[in-house]
Amino acid sequence: MRGGAVGYTTLLALTVILLFTGLGSTSLWDIDETSNAQSAEEMLLSGDWVVPTLNGELRTDKPPLHYWLMMASYKVFGVREFSARLFAAIFGFLTVVLTVWAGRKTFGAAAGNLSGLCLAVSFLFTVSSRAATTDAFLLFFTNLAVFAGFFAERSRAMSILSWAAMGFAVLAKGPVGIVLPFGALFIYALMSGRGARGLRRLLDLRGILVFLCIAAPWYYLAASRTGGSLIEGFILKHNVGRFLNPMESHRGPLFYYLLILLPGFFPWAAFLPQAVSRTFRMGRGSGRKDSFGLLLIIWSGLVILFFSVARTKLPTYILPAFPALALMTGAYIQSLDSRHDRGVTGRTWSWIVNLIPAALFPAALVVGFTMRAPGLVPYALAALPMTAAAVAGLLFNLRGQPIKGFRWAAFAAAAGAMGIHLLAAPALEPYRMGPEVGRGIARAAGPSDAAAEWGYFRPSIVFYAHRPVERIRSEDGIEAFLRRPGGRFLVTTEGKYRTLPGGLKDRLKVLEKGVDAVDSNKIILLLERTGASLPGTGREEAAPL
């Protein structure tokens, strides 16, 4: 990619297409997207900007930044999928801009643009930047903190900006928002030979005050409003607990993230050994780009090591390392001489390795669709450009045109990502019963009617039903629920329904029925209570059971 305005404009246009096109084309995905979006809606309706709730209960999973941004989006665009995901896409776009800026200031204009391209088309980045989750916000603010911290050696304003970014990162995700970027900058100050001078600039008092002014008020208010239970649940359970113990079956081996990188940082992960090796050799120099290379290795290495040691593992946890990996990869690609190295080289073997995830993208869709939704198998073709990306890169490399190979691979990977986002994912809509039964309740229920679940709860039901969903634990609970006045709607599985006594079954009729092929692979039922009309109300009420 060219280093001038044309190359930069092309990159920004591609990023906009990747992150914003069809942003609301699918229902929100359980569990994270729907939980976040529903909590933001409940905060907006209650007017409470401090204490998050989900289905009317205290939610301690996350701090409030993404809720606040969703609430602002809801006010402008209404409560819908596009609104919930909008700011994630905006901050994903800003992260690409930030990566290009850092690369251009250190490695040059062309390398900066290539670095932005590497980040923009990497698969896990596009997925996370199109999702109503906290990942895009943590990604942007932690990298802003690290990059601004690097340039703070020549600008006190950059030091303050770095601390401000850490403040917002803590509001986005919690303590990890300061532990990781501050840890990377601290290690860099020690290893770069800047010693006491570097540490003094890092520990800027004004910056620390700015950090506290941004991050501390919400934590104080949340603790005082909930008697400390919100902060205790968030810090002890969702931070310390996730680090020390695998939660919600999200576990994996120590090398888990090395496996995630191959498809997640596709199509660049296979070239990370060359890129990191080149950056490591460069990091032993004394120039600005050499020092920046050292910081990139420290920052990306710390993120990957930290989450590899943590017991709870999710693919998106290492996203903060992606801009650093993209910068090292972009600088490596720019350093290549396209006039020689024909035939089999180290890069050739990397492209061959890249064929593995390239083939796995459509293969995984074929297997998944065959097992859960056979009628959707043709949609696996949407991921074929991923395979074409690796093949194009390999062929151009064999012809002695490695940079052209990288460019074609980037655009083919972008096409594959868009195929998955805009074709394969929307095709799954009829097989996702959480949103479907939620919409069914919204269509059939009046404003004062109530909904409940027995054995099948998804936050998407609450979000799309536009009302709380009572959690029922027993048959006695169902009986009590059906006795109450007003319309009654019950969500359960077919297996649970079959265990009900005949008397309860007689008071229920099926409104919706379908296989939740994406999630539980169970048959889900939406039931409505039937019965005689209450005198003078026009409503139906169940007879005594």
* Whole-Å CA distances, 344 to 277, 361, 387, 394, 398: 20, 26, 20, 10, 6
| Distance between CA atoms of residues 366 and 420, nearest Å | 12
Residue 285 has pLDDT above 70, yes or no: no
Residue 533 has pLDDT above 50, yes or no: no
Q: Which of 172-181, 245-254, 440-449 has the lowest mean pLDDT?
A: 245-254
For residue 235, the model assigns a pLDDT of 82
Number of compact structural domains in the chain = 3
Average pLDDT over residues 90-96: 99
* Together in a domain, 227 and 86: yes
Residue 106 has pLDDT above 80, yes or no: yes
Residue 339 lies in a domain: no
| Distance between CA atoms of residues 271 and 261, nearest Å | 11
Q: Which two three-digit tokens encode residue 475?
A: 């048959």
* Together in a domain, 279 and 356: no
Q: Which two three-digit tokens encode residue 57?
A: 């209960």
The secondary element (H helix, E strand) that includes residue 308 is helix 288-309
* Structural domain ending residue among the three candidates 430, 459, 491: 430
Residue 474 has pLDDT above 60, yes or no: yes
Residue 129 has pLDDT above 90, yes or no: yes
* Together in a domain, 111 and 49: yes
* Structural domain ending residue among the three candidates 411, 430, 449: 430
* Together in a domain, 529 and 481: yes
| Distance between CA atoms of residues 89 and 353, nearest Å | 30
Residue 338 lies in a domain: no
* Together in a domain, 440 and 426: no
Residue 59 lies in a domain: yes
Express each pLDDT in 185-204 by its tens digit. 999 998 887 666 777 778 88
| Distance between CA atoms of residues 302 and 296, nearest Å | 10
Residue 61 has pLDDT above 70, yes or no: yes
Residue 237 lies in a domain: yes
For residue 400, the model assigns a pLDDT of 81
Average pLDDT, the chain: 89
SS3 313: coil
Residue 337 lies in a domain: no
Residue 384's domain comprises 346-430
| Distance between CA atoms of residues 310 and 355, nearest Å | 30
- Interacting residues of 485 by C-beta distance below 8 A, sequence separation 6+: 534, 537, 539, 541
Which one has a higher pLDDT value, 525 or 145?
A: 145
Give which of 488, 252, 262, 480 is closest to 358, Cα–Cα: 262
Residue 531 has pLDDT above 90, yes or no: no
Which one has a higher pLDDT value, 508 or 40?
A: 40
Radius of gyration of the chain (CA): 26
Determine phi and psi for 341, rounding to 5 degrees. 65, 40
Q: Which of 91-95, 139-143, 283-287, 469-473 has the lowest mean pLDDT?
A: 283-287
* Together in a domain, 325 and 369: no
* Together in a domain, 404 and 448: no
* Together in a domain, 426 and 442: no
Paired sense of beta strands 488-493 and 508-515, if any: unpaired
Express each pLDDT in 378-419 by its tens digit. 988 898 898 988 898 888 888 888 888 888 899 999 999 999
The secondary element (H helix, E strand) that includes residue 421 is none
For the domain that residue 525 is a member of, what is the CATH number?
A: 3.40.190
Given pLDDT bands bounded at 50, 70 and 90, which one contains residue 85? very high
Q: Which of 135-144, 449-458, 502-511 has the lowest mean pLDDT?
A: 502-511
Residue 288 has pLDDT above 90, yes or no: no
Given pLDDT bands bounded at 50, 70 and 90, which one contains residue 283? low
* Together in a domain, 65 and 76: yes
Residue 41 has pLDDT above 90, yes or no: yes
Residue 325 lies in a domain: yes
Residue 340 lies in a domain: no
For residue 245, the model assigns a pLDDT of 78
DSSP states of 18-62 as a string?
HHHTTTTSSPPPTTHHHHHHHHHHHHHHHT-SSS-EETTEE--SS
SS3 514: strand
Average pLDDT over residues 284-296: 82
* Together in a domain, 441 and 533: yes
For residue 523, the model assigns a pLDDT of 86
Average pLDDT over residues 296-325: 96
Is there a contact between 172 and 144 (Cβ–Cβ < 8 Å)?
no
Is there a contact between 504 and 475 (Cβ–Cβ < 8 Å)?
yes
* Together in a domain, 305 and 422: no
pTM for this predicted structure: 0.92
Amino acid at 125: F
Express each pLDDT in 339-367 by its tens digit. 445 545 678 888 888 888 888 889 988 99
Given pLDDT bands bounded at 50, 70 and 90, which one contains residue 3? low
Q: Which two three-digit tokens encode residue 148?
A: 């601004």
Q: Which two three-digit tokens encode residue 340?
A: 């020689």
Percent of all residues in the chain with a pLDDT value above 70, rounded to a whole number: 93
Is there a contact between 204 and 154 (Cβ–Cβ < 8 Å)?
no
Residue 471 has pLDDT above 50, yes or no: yes
Percent of all residues in the chain with a pLDDT value above 90, rounded to a whole number: 61
Residue 341 lies in a domain: no
| Distance between CA atoms of residues 528 and 506, nearest Å | 11
* Together in a domain, 112 and 123: yes
Residue 2 has pLDDT above 80, yes or no: no
* Structural domain ending residue among the three candidates 300, 332, 364: 332
**Count of CB atoms situated within 10 Å of the CB of 395:** 13
Q: Which two three-digit tokens encode residue 137?
A: 């916000």
Place of tokens 């044309």: 6
Residue 7 has pLDDT above 80, yes or no: yes
Given pLDDT bands bounded at 50, 70 and 90, which one contains residue 1? low
* Whole-Å CA distances, 355 to 276, 393, 418: 21, 10, 19
